[in-house]
Every structure is written in structure tokens, then in C-alpha cells.
Amino acid sequence: MTRQRYKNHREVAMARGATEPAWPIDPVKPRFATWSFGGGRPFNCKAGSCDRWHAGIDLLCKANDIVVTPELCTIEAVDRGWSKGSKAVFARTATGLFLVFGGTKKGSGDEWNVKEGDELPKGSPIGRVLGSYGMVHFETYEDDAYRMTNSRWYVGEPPPEGILNPLNYIQRAAGQEETIESWRQIRLSLRLLGADPPTEGPWTEEDAAALIEIQELLGLEPDGKWGPDTEERVRAELNEMGVSASMWPQVPVPVPSRDDGSGDSTGHAENNTFLYGLYSLLGLGGLAAAWAAYRRMTT
């Protein structure tokens, strides 16, 4: 049976948050599905019978495993109603995320005297997993003054306002390499490699043409589709450039110096300062365009 998934799941931006978050369940070997976000619900529903899309990622674990804060958090709520008799904990991070931990046991946070308003450091216990639920359902949202709970994502509706894909965040917490998953990341990858896709909006034929251009450059089948082979080859090329998905969008992309034999290159400290200033004005996308222009100029 074909697994149902929201067809435009790549349009949802990735949650960033802390650079090195802790795994939210202690001590548990990380187990989760990379395709979980945007999947059809009820689980394994057939086409036309899905009620909603999965707004998070399920982290598999056992009864009474301890749920912990992945980074410095302020607790927004404990023991909120969830499903199958379980409860949920809501928290805010200093990095601008609203976190949802669904599947906790009622009153289990009392073991550590967890209360609303508590500011807890990374790795702090906030509850235990309810055995009949058997997982932690983890969701991420942009934090704002109005976000007080999670959102339902119903079939036929766009992604809820402020929702973020937690995949890269969870991969970092698990010590895994991040997937290049969202349209924003894919477009940035293509731009870094010398193509010129659009910067915003839905995926179009113009994006597909940019992808085909890079696939041809890398010796891949130019089908205009982003799949595992393309991601692996693109990632390898980016790694050779010193760029990884885990760097996005938190650090500037270094534009290498160009020595044309005149003895004057762009690698001096004052020029590096200029590049960092340029990043503060243009962001990573602006430097990506500069890097693409550089490649076109020197090849």
C-alpha cells in the first residue's frame, strides 16, 4: 500500500533551535522515521480516507522512559490533554521554538517538581512516557506570543501557521547528518552549486530546470526530481566545499579567495570582515548567490 503524505511537505521550513540539542528521551537509542512529518493519519490510511496530516515526528521508546528538555526551555504547560489517555508538555526555547512533547504520563513531572513557568536547562527531566502510548510525539513551531498549544493539520488545509518540520532538529539530537529536505534547503543547495532557482514560493518548472542543470553537472540522471541519489551526490559536493546542512542558516558561507597572480587576493582579514558584514545584511541566501556568481566567473 502506498503511504499517504502531504504532497507539499517540502514547503514547510525546518526547525533550527539549538545547534546541539539533547535527545528528548533518556536513556534511549534514537529511533524515528524520517518520513513521519506530513504523513497520513490515521496511520496507514488509504488515499481519500486520511483525516489529517502528521504534525510532528514520533520518537519510539518504552513505558516510563524519562522525557527531557532538548535545550534550555521554559515550561509553558504540563499534563495537557493528549491521546490514548496520555498527556503533553509544552515548552518554549530561548532559540525561538515552541516544543510539544505528547505521550507523557499524568503527574509524572511531579517526580522532579516540574511546574508551569519553570526555566529548565538542557537535559532536565519533565515527565515519563505513558506505556500505552509507547512514544513521544514531538512537534515544533515558531514561538510567538499567541502560540499556547499545538495545531491540528487537517487534510485539505495548508500547514498550520507557524508549524516547522522537526526532522533536522531531531537528527542533530540523534547525532545524525541532517537531511536536505525542504524546498528552501534544496534551492540553497542548487544555488551554492551554481544554478539560479527562485528564492521563494512553490516548486515550479523553473526550479526543476535548475535541478536538472545541477544533475547534469554532477553526472546524474537529469529527471528534475529530488531523490536519494541526487541528495547524496549534492551533499558530497557541498561537503567538498566545506558546507553542510547542519550549518544552515546559522553561519555564513565562506567565499574562497581568488588569487589571479597579481598578489592581491580576497582572503585578507578586512575582506573577511566585509563578507561577514555582507552576511548580516543579505543572509545566507545572499552569500549563496555570491558563491554561485563566483563559480560562474571562475569556470
Q: How confident is the model at residue 150 (pLDDT cuts 50, 70, 90)?
A: very high
Could you report the per-residue pLDDT of 127-148, keeping only the tens digit for each? 999 999 999 999 999 999 899 9
Q: How confident is the model at residue 247 (pLDDT cuts 50, 70, 90)?
A: low
Mean residue pLDDT across the chain: 84
pLDDT higher than 50, residue 96: yes
Nearest C-alpha neighbor of 18 from the set 71, 54, 88, 76: 71
Higher pLDDT, residue 16 or 145:
16
Superfamily of domain 9-173: Glucose Permease (Domain IIA) (2.70.70.10)
CA distance 83 to 252: 42
What residue segments make up the domains of the chain, in order of their start? 9-173, 183-298
Hey, what amino acid is at 20? E
- Predicted pLDDT at 201: 86
Report, as an integer, the average pLDDT of 167-191.
93
**pTM for the whole thing?**
0.80
Q: How confident is the model at residue 199 (pLDDT cuts 50, 70, 90)?
A: confident
Report, as an integer, the average pLDDT of 16-22.
95
- Predicted pLDDT at 28: 86
Residues written for the chain:
299
Share of the chain above pLDDT 70, in %: 81
pLDDT higher than 60, residue 288: no
pLDDT higher than 70, residue 294: no
Report, as an integer, the average pLDDT of 269-283.
35
Nearest C-alpha neighbor of 124 from the set 68, 65, 64: 68
Contact 59, 135 (CB under 8 A): yes
Nearest C-alpha neighbor of 142 from the set 125, 161, 157: 161
Q: What is the 3-state secondary structure (H, E, C) of 218-241?
A: CCCCCCCCCCHHHHHHHHHHHHHC
- Predicted pLDDT at 245: 58
Report, as an integer, the average pLDDT of 224-245.
88
Share of the chain above pLDDT 90, in %: 72
pLDDT higher than 80, residue 297: no
pLDDT higher than 50, residue 295: no
